[in-house]
Chain A
Amino acid sequence: MDIKVKSKKQKAASREQKVDHIQPSSFTPHPSLLKATLAIVQKDLAAEFRSFELVSAMLVFSLLVIIIFNFALELDIEVRKAVNAGVLWATFAFAGTLGLNRSMAVEKDRGCMDGLLLAPVDRSAIYFGKAISNLVFMLVVEAIVLPVYSVLYNVNLFRLDLLGVILLGSIGYTAVGTLLSTMSAQTRTREILLPILLFPVVMPVLLASVKASSGLLAGAGIVEIATPLNILIVYDVIFIAAAFMAFDFVVEE
């Protein structure tokens, strides 16, 4: 017993000795918005690369949805052509809510959101960092789902104009989704609350994306889909600006 106590004291003494060597570090108290945003994005990507929890859940869900629709629509080519864009965006939208929920749950459950809020950075950096991470996860899932969809539905989705529409739609979706998932993450019923909050707000983006995508898949050119495309661009800008302004109030207790 005596020996044990002595060894603990020795340990403590050696730790205090180590502490004496610590010198205050030089640091700039306010890292820029860009640096803080990049730090959050890199942190999210590194954590996801390790666990693969978020992307795998989104991916499995997306593949299940397109396979179920594939069986439901059977072999009717005309029906398939008509619903391609709808099925595709329904898949992305529902898979996206899974990702958004998970992305914010990671921050909330272990108090990491408080850790982010305690940093002396502009809180918009937290929003942009999380939104960019969510967008990257969504694009990764889309990049895997698109070839599978092309094979199952026998449709060529690898067209630059269509990929551009998918990118714009995804930006709008994650811009507003990140803000609303931050709000819903603070409640006990976040899994239920997020789709209830998100889908009515994101409807203009989804409708414009479906319109633009179905037009392109039906052989229309950029000029013919100019209206939904413009709506998509305008909503992207509005949603990013609104979320940027509202984020501080959303995270404030």
Chain B
Amino acid sequence: MIEVKTLVKRFGYKTILRGLDFSVEPGEFVALLGPNGAGKTTFLRILSSLSRPSLGTVKVAGHPLPDQAAQVRAKLGVVSHLPLLYPDLSAEENLRFYGRMYGIGDMEARIHEVLKMVDLEHRRKDLVRTFSRGMQQRLAIGRAVIHDPEVMLFDEPYTGLDQDASEMLDDVLRSVAAKGRTVVMTSHDLARAEELATRFDILSRGVITASISKKELKQTNLLAFYKQALTE
């Protein structure tokens, strides 16, 4: 579903990604872990077609980037720590706007389904500016799944959420993955990542330094694996 070969990304003289190789099978939930500045966000921006690779090849859902970026974007849902929502529009207006941008047919039914999924149906008419951070993040997930994407990218979705909001987000993330979608999530929260993901990749200094599946992880624990991968 995602295939990345020798990806390099440079900003001026600074190299962020240094020949990164990465692949994800359909239906996999990959947690991309690493310290600040490792290049996680840059990598997700390239996967989501928001940034061009300097070198290397990137394929998402069978389409090469950046040549077929529009086809990739149609199959991609992205959630970042920013909600990408308009505070002066209501929850349903935000979803309707993004639905129109994705050319959704049966709009009202889809809005209803998505609001139900993120448990915000009772607040559908309320302006997003009146929502708590947790509610905004749930609506952000609703926005990202409005077009029923095959691949979902989550960039630090737990940033700024309290315990309750994080637990609710866990449920929504589980339900997103349960639909058979391919998910890549960056996070600093190892416990949450361990609970949700089926594979764990460690990104450090612009390359994937280690990778382990959930089955393999049973012999060790994620924190020990993470620390070891960073020191190698």
Known contacts A22-B179, A23-B113, A120-B73, A114 near B171 by CB under 8 Å: no
Known contacts A15-B117, A50-B127, A25 near B106 by CB under 8 Å: yes
Chain A residue with the shortest CB-CB distance to B174? A16
**Which listed residue (B75, B100, B170) contacts A36, Cβ 8 A?**
B100
**Which listed residue (A8, A11, A24, A110) contacts B85, Cβ 8 A?**
A110
B104 within 8 A of A: yes
**Which listed residue (B97, B102, B113) contacts A22, Cβ 8 A?**
B113
Most buried by B among A15, A25, A47, A50: A25
Give Cα A111–Cα B41 distance, bound, in whole angstroms.
14
Known contacts A19-B179, A29-B71, A120 near B106 by CB under 8 Å: no
Give Cα A11–Cα B127 distance, bound, in whole angstroms.
24
B167 within 8 A of A: yes
Contact with B along A94-138 (1 / 0, CB 8 A): 000000000000100011101111111110000000000000000
Contact with A along B91-126 (1 / 0, CB 8 A): 001000110111111100110011011010000000
- Please state if B148 and A24 are interface contacts (CB–CB under 8 Å): yes
B48 within 8 A of A: yes
Give Cα A159–Cα B154 distance, bound, in whole angstroms.
55
**Size bracket of the A interface:** 35 or more
- Please state if A30 and B103 are interface contacts (CB–CB under 8 Å): yes
B80 within 8 A of A: yes
- Please state if B50 and A253 are interface contacts (CB–CB under 8 Å): yes
Return chain B residues, CB-CB under 8 Å to A11.
168, 171
**Size bracket of the B interface:** 35 or more
Total cross-chain contacts (CB, 8 A) = 140
Known contacts A19-B178, A31-B100, A252 near B52 by CB under 8 Å: yes
Return chain B residues, CB-CB under 8 Å to A39.
97, 100-101
A21 within 8 A of B: yes
- Please state if A112 and B172 are interface contacts (CB–CB under 8 Å): no
A189 within 8 A of B: no
Q: In chain B between 157 and 171, which residues have their CB closer than 8 angstroms to a CB of chain A? A: 167-168, 170-171
Give Cα A21–Cα B76 distance, bound, in whole angstroms.
21
Return chain A residues, CB-CB under 8 Å to B114.
22
CB distance from B159 to the nearest CB of A (A): 12
Give Cα A18–Cα B120 distance, bound, in whole angstroms.
12
A140 within 8 A of B: no
Interface residues of A (CB under 8 A from B): 8, 11-12, 15-16, 18-19, 21-31, 35-36, 39, 42-43, 46-48, 50-51, 106, 110-112, 114-122, 252-253
Interface residues of B (CB under 8 A from A): 45, 48-52, 70-71, 73-76, 78, 80, 82-89, 93, 97-98, 100-106, 109-110, 113-114, 116-117, 119, 127, 143, 147-148, 167-168, 170-172, 174-175, 178-179
Sample (8) of A-B pairs whose CB atoms are under 8 Å apart: A11-B168, A18-B119, A19-B178, A25-B106, A30-B103, A119-B73, A120-B103, A121-B70
Q: A35-B100, A118-B76 are in contact. List 12 more A-B contacts (CB 8 A).
A: A11-B171, A19-B117, A25-B110, A26-B105, A26-B106, A46-B88, A50-B88, A111-B80, A114-B50, A114-B84, A118-B84, A253-B50
